[in-house]
Each structure stands twice: as structure tokens, then as C-alpha cells.
Structure 1
Amino acid sequence: MPTESIVLRTIDDREQRIEWDESSPLHLTIETRAGELTIRKGVFRGGVSEGVEIVRMANSRMHVDILPTRGMAIWRMQANGVRYQWQSPVVGPVHPNYVDVGEPSGVGFLSGFDELVTRCGLESNGAPEHDANGQLLHPLHGHIANTPADALSVEFDEASGRAELVAETIEARLFVKRFRMRTRVRIHADRDDVELLDDVTNELSTPASMQLLYHINVGAPVLGKDARLNVAVEEVAPRNDHAAEEIDRWERFDGPTSGYVERVYFAKPCSDESGMGHAMLADAKGARGLSVRFRTSTLPWFVLWKNCAETGDGYVAGIEPSTNFPNPRGFEHERGRTVDLGPGETESFRVTLSPLTTPEEVQQADEAIRKIYEDQSIEVNTFNTPRADWSIEVENNAPESEGN
């Protein structure tokens, strides 16, 4: 007699694990003057995803999946049939209960890393840092990505066709810190942009300093052999000697390559007349891409993470506007690359993701970046070797593989 089986869930189909809650107050269909918007609230069931909340915001052409349980990360996005995500070896989303951020090596963050957009911060956002006795001071990429949102709501405006998922996330420790991050993820009924509006407040009665990096991770189908990054920058330098080997093609990508060792590049972005920096990743044919715009007054630095590994090993490009470079916090603080907040003071951060699904949209994004260079007569200053004031690896003369 043949063996029979009944499948409850599989590893590969993550969306199969979502249990949508039609009784949730966040289960909404909103008719606006600009078109229809829908919002759905659900939770993942089974395995390391058990209990992870998901909110899907959508218009007629696109949807974006947000994970309140994971620091309001954006898990995936889809627009006009093009998916924006990457294939991490980590099968997520992973509940923070299964991510030991503070484990002794300092790289526990990597056990839960598979989102399209991950916030790194808020006390620190870079490579792990240990004291002279080997005690972990600051883990890789900080705590906020594995901190669940405490407050969650939706705001919408029928006249403008705007909807926002609003959350508040607290990163705190007695005697050390209390940061409140108020996040708004905004979409519109008549366009495909996703806006991230984050306001971080120091809620202690004493001054504090913070860091924040937006780790925007793009894989296939946008990323592939001969994909390219176009970004408006004044200066660019390799993080280490390994990255320096390809500084002449730092913005170009190889296809998936087994055994590839990541390369990271640091840059000083320039902005358009509205104060926004521009970066775009496009495929080899210029047929589709992703545009990232960010306010440079509060995100004055830019990082490119190139990990052209085999697809299953994590083939991905990291587009990363930041308050600083992702060196250990102490190194950055000594060089003035932390954000100082007085008691009750707030800093605001703005990032916009725009899916580009036609050659015309890619061309328009290219043109916007070209205009920044022309209007300001900018010539890029490319450093062939790491800069001592930008990278701790010049001091240490040793590779660091998890500080991107």
C-alpha cells in the first residue's frame, strides 16, 4: 500500500504560513479620490516565524509587506509583477526570540537577516565591538531590527489617497538609554513609492548619541550579472584592501559566484535641490530597478555592500544610506559620526523606495542623478585605497566580514 502524507506547511513557501486576520481593525479597504487602498494584518505560523506580525499595504499595482515584530522592517515588495527581495540562507522572517543578538561573537544579528529593508541602530549600527577583556559592548547592527513595535495603527486621507502604517518602537536599557522610534510607512493609491518616515527621540533626562543605517537589500531579478548602481556621490573609497581590488568597477556587479567574498564601499553622497540623495540599482538591460532617495542632512553617508555569492548563499546588493559608516561605534564616535540628542530631542530620517518596472522609469532615475552632477559640476573623487578616517580596517590591517 503506497505511503500517504498530509502537508501542513513547507520550508520554501513562507507566505503559505501567513494567517490573515479578517477581524483585525487593520483589515481595511479604503476608497479614495485617487483610487483604492487595502490593508491586511496577519501573523506567521510555525517554525522560527511563529508569531511574527505582518501588515500588507497595497494599491492596484503594488504591495509592500511590513514586519512590526522585527522593528518595522520591510520584508518584501512587489510592483507591476516585479518582486523586490533577496534569497538569504536564513529562512525568515525570524522571530526575535530566535535571534541571540547579544551572543559573545557579536554577530547574532545574522541569524535573522532576510528582509528587503532592515533598520540598523539605534545606539549602534555597525560592526560588533568588544572591550579589552573580550566583553561584547555593541553587537553587529544594533538591536532595533530585533525589537518588536509596541504601538501600531493606521492613518489615511481619502482626499489625497494616502495611507500610513504608524508604529512606535522602544529601544531601552536601565541606566543606559531610552530611544523611541516613531515610524510611518506611507503609500499612495496613485503611485508606487514607499516612504519611510522615522523620528527618533531621546527620552532620557540626559544627553545621548545614536546611529541609524537603512540596510536596503536587493537580489534577483533586479540584481544579476552586469547590473549597475548609479548613485550621486562626491567621494568613494573601498572599506579594505580586498574591496580596493575592484575600485575601478565598484558600482558594477558580477553574476552569482560560489566562494565570493563580500566587498564594501564607503561614499559621501550629494543631494538635489530638495536635499535628497539619489541611488538606483538597475538590471543589465536597464529594464527594471529600484530607486532609493534619502535626506542627506540626517543621512550624510552612503554604503554599498556587494555580495555576489551563489544565489543560495545570499546573492545581494546592499544600498545603505546612514548616519555614519558601519565601523565599530567607538571608532565612529571619535570621528564625530554619531547623532547627539539632548534630553527630549528628536531627529528625523526620510527614505523613499521607488520600484522601477519599465525602461522609461529607469531612464528617468538615471537622468535625475545625472542632473545632480551637472547642476553642481561634481567630479567624483575616487580613492584607490581605504581611507584611515573612514575605515577601522586601515588601523587594524585585518579583514572584517560582518560590518557592512
Structure 2
Amino acid sequence: MKLKQTFSAVVLGLAAMNIQAAEFVLTDSTKGTDVGDWQVSNSSLGLKSDDHFSVEKRRLHGGKQLGVDVIIVNNGELTVTLVPTRGMGILHVERDGERILGWDSPVKEVVNPMFIDLESRNGLGWLDGFNEMLVRCGYEWTGHPGVDENGQLLSLHGRVQNTPASNVKVTIDDIPPHKITIEGDVSERTFKKAELTTRTKLEIIPGENSFSLHDTLTNHASYDDEYQIIYHSNFGRPILEEGAKVTAAASEVSPFNDYAQAGLESWQTYLGPTKDFDEMVFNLKPIGDEKGNSLVVLHNRSANKGVAVGYNVKQLPVLTLWKNTDTEKQGYVTGIEPGTSYAYNTKFQRPLGLVPTIKAGESKHFDVTYTVLRNEGDVSQALKQVDTLQKGKPVKQSKKLIVDLNKVQ
């Protein structure tokens, strides 16, 4: 049973009715309501749990993060910080008080989208707010900026990450293990253009070292439309270091451009911070099991800490690997990016069949799971899962460019 009530109703009813679980509406744009700073825990709900858990909403102040809302979910093992103001992205994940998933961007504040001009710097304005562990890129378009075939400037990686969620709610199951669910609606609605909405959903169970995203994209228009999505998952210290390694279930890897060709043979391993290292990007053709489930593992040099990213190739058929091992101050980071598309501009991906269509009234579903690998045993187990998917076959290295940018520009 889940009781759907407003925040105030739940608070008033807890003592009198001994309510043990509830749905808390934090933001509702249709009613113009918001609870402001807020928190709840297993103790305040009267739930007996082996793992203490809590959910807190805060509003940030100062600089360009003025008015930004964050939701901090502590499941007793991990602390996940979401940003409803920035498309329900995930800022970082902590364990034992230290960041385990995330990276150090030159962008230090959680930037309010009101300070972002996506079309600045010839469509690179998205970078003015880029510092999250998980960024959804899309949904109307994604990829590198450029002018589309119809003459429209498509800015870097779309608009969704700089769109505040319209409605946000928290649900905590009354039955053990007391799953915590955070939902937020993000809309891309433009007159005569797109009418896409995404119900984002994060699920996490108290005491577990993983969490999952279950997103639903719906086309509310009367006409079919294109869509694209990349789950731009970004990791730096403490996992990324010289000798760190990525292992993906894939049949083939190829360079994104000429510059990446030089790093093809060492695509799985990482340098330490390296001045004047330009970003290297690789296109992978992932493989999954009979249900389409696939896995990517990134671990440190000692293979005793890391992250596993699980996704479904029927939903997200391609994988981009972004290696940006520049200096620490410039942004030492790598991106593991399952998606419907690679990172090329949209007009280059249509001939590849990587700009899918969503029919009028149709919904598309995307599921991604992140598992924090805490020790050698966790890393070893995750790598064995990738080996099982590979079935003893190596990842083929192809020097052929999927898109030759020298010829198309």
C-alpha cells in the first residue's frame, strides 16, 4: 500500500493514523506549490529498518546556483544527490562521507538553467553548467552542436538537462525493504515543434550499493517525432587514475574522429592527468544477453574500486566512451554513455539509423543501473558478468570512421 497525500496531510496524519509509508509531493507546477526545504527518514515514518535511510530536499543559494533544488537520498550505504532544477540529473554519489561517483569540473556551482544560454559559443553553452555524474542528453536532439538539415541550430546535447522538473515526488514503500522512489517530470514543449515529456524515476533500496533509473518518454503531440537520448555518465577520482581500465560487453570499437585513431589500441586504459590531451571518443557496438541487458565496468588501477553501468541494448543500442584525461583543473574525467545515438550531430546520424521515431501518443522506456564496486570481490564479479556476455570473443578494433567529419564538413 502507498498512501498518496500532500506533504502537509502526511505530517498531520502520521501520529493519529500510525502511517508507515507515504507519497510526498515536493513540487507541483499545475498547482504552483513547492514544499521548500524538507526531509523524511525511516525514524520519522516510524519504520523499523536495519539500514537507516533519509530523503532531504534543499534549496541552494548564492552565485549561479541561486534557487536550485537538490534532493539528497541516503540509503544507509550510498548518498545520491539529484538536481530537479537541472533535468533530474545526478550531481554525485557518496559513500562513507566521500565522493565515489562523480568528477571535478571547472564548473563549481550547481548552475541554475536561467543562467545558461545553450546557443552561446556556437551551441556550446551547455558546458557552462556541466559538472554532474549523470546528465541526460536529449530528448528532441543530442550530440555535437551544428546546423541541422532544415537550417536549425542544434545546441550541444539538447535541452533536457537545463529544464527544471515540473512535478517531483518521493515514494517510500511500507513493506520491507522499503524501496525509495524519486520521480520527476521534465517537459520539452514548443509550439509547432516538440511535445515530449519524460517521467524520470530513480529507485534505490536501503542498504544496497546500487540504484537504477527507469525513465519513460512520451510523445503527446498529434504527429510522430524524432527523439534521441544519451545517458552521459561521468566519472573521475577516486576511480579514474593512471592505469584505470574500462571493460565493455561489445562486438566492435572504432574511433569517433581522426584524433581518436591514435588511441584505438589503448582504448581500454587511461592516462593520468595529461596537459594538452584533447578528448578522445570511441564508438562501441554493445552486445547484451537474450533480454538485451549489457554491462560496462570501470575500475581503478588496483581493481579494488569502481562502477558498473548496466543498460539494455534494445532501448539504448549504442555506447560512447569519452576519455578526457586532461589536467585536474581542466577536468579529469571519463564518460560512459549508452544511448540511442553516438555523439555526432543529428544530421550525421540519420543515415546511420540512429535518430529513431516516436509515434504520436507513444511511450519509450529506458532503464540504466549504477552499481558501486566497493572492493576486489565486487570488481571481479562485475568483470565476470562482462566476460559471460562476450562469450570468449574479443572486442574487434576497427579503424574505419563511422562518420568522416573531414568529408562532411
Shorter-chain TM-score range: 0.7 to 0.9
CA distance in 2, matches of 1:204, 1:385: 39
Which aligned pairs between 1:241-390 and structure 2 lie closer than 5 A?
241-374=258-391, 377-386=392-401, 390=402
Listed one character per residue, the Cα deviations across residues 79-129 of structure 1 (whole Å, up to 9, x for unaligned) are: 244521111111221110111012360111011100000000011110112
Would the aligned equivalents of 2:149 and 2:347 in 1 still touch at CA under 8 Å?
no
CA distance in 2, matches of 1:382, 1:259: 25
Would the aligned equivalents of 2:148 and 2:347 in 1 still touch at CA under 8 Å?
no
Deviation at 1:130, TM superposition (A): 1.5
Deviation at 1:378, TM superposition (A): 3.1
2:114 maps to 1:114: no
Gaps of 5+ in 2: 1-34
Deviation at 1:25, TM superposition (A): 8.3
CA distance in 2, matches of 1:136, 1:102: 11
**Among 224, 228, 231, the residue aligned to 2:241:** 224
CA distance in 2, matches of 1:32, 1:326: 46
2:141 maps to 1:124: yes
* Displaced runs of 4 or more, over 4 A: 23-26
2:108 maps to 1:94: no
2:256 maps to 1:239: yes
CA distance in 2, matches of 1:165, 1:26: 14
CA distance in 2, matches of 1:25, 1:154: 14
Would the aligned equivalents of 2:37 and 2:58 in 1 still touch at CA under 8 Å?
no
**Among 197, 203, 218, the residue aligned to 2:214:** 197
Q: Which one-letter code corresponds to 1:57 in the other structure?
A: V
3-state DSSP class of the match of 2:123? coil
Q: Which one-letter code corresponds to 1:59 in the other structure?
A: N
Would the aligned equivalents of 2:36 and 2:59 in 1 still touch at CA under 8 Å?
no
Deviation at 1:157, TM superposition (A): 1.0
Q: Partner residue of 1:39?
A: 55
Q: Which one-letter code corresponds to 1:40 in the other structure?
A: E
**Among 170, 178, 184, the residue aligned to 1:167:** 184
2:43 maps to 1:27: no
TM-score computed with the length of structure 1 as normaliser: 0.88
TM-score computed with the length of structure 2 as normaliser: 0.87
Count of matched residue pairs: 369
**Could you say what the CA RMSD is over the residues aligned between the two structures, in angstroms?**
1.8
Deviation at 1:231, TM superposition (A): 0.6
CA distance in 1, matches of 2:116, 2:228: 21
Q: Structure 1 residues 258 and 136 mapped into 2: Cα distance closer, same or farther (>3 Å)?
A: farther
Deviation at 1:380, TM superposition (A): 2.1
Q: Structure 1 residues 298 and 394 mapped into 2: Cα distance closer, same or farther (>3 Å)?
A: farther
Q: Structure 1 residues 259 and 369 mapped into 2: Cα distance closer, same or farther (>3 Å)?
A: same
Q: Which one-letter code corresponds to 1:189 in the other structure?
A: P
2:227 maps to 1:206: no
2:77 maps to 1:61: yes
Would the aligned equivalents of 2:294 and 2:389 in 1 still touch at CA under 8 Å?
no
Q: Structure 1 residues 342 and 385 mapped into 2: Cα distance closer, same or farther (>3 Å)?
A: closer
Q: Structure 1 residues 132 and 349 mapped into 2: Cα distance closer, same or farther (>3 Å)?
A: closer
2:166 maps to 1:150: yes
CA distance in 1, matches of 2:38, 2:307: 28
Would the aligned equivalents of 1:28 and 1:39 in 2 still touch at CA under 8 Å?
yes
Gaps of 5+ in 1: 1-22, 399-404
CA distance in 2, matches of 1:373, 1:105: 41
Deviation at 1:392, TM superposition (A): 4.5
Listed one character per residue, the Cα deviations across residues 139-198 of structure 1 (whole Å, up to 9, x for unaligned) are: 010000100000000112132320110111101110010101001111101312111111
Would the aligned equivalents of 1:34 and 1:161 in 2 still touch at CA under 8 Å?
no
Deviation at 1:218, TM superposition (A): 0.3
CA distance in 1, matches of 2:149, 2:81: 42
3-state DSSP class of the match of 2:337? strand
Would the aligned equivalents of 1:106 and 1:136 in 2 still touch at CA under 8 Å?
no
Q: Partner residue of 2:27?
A: none
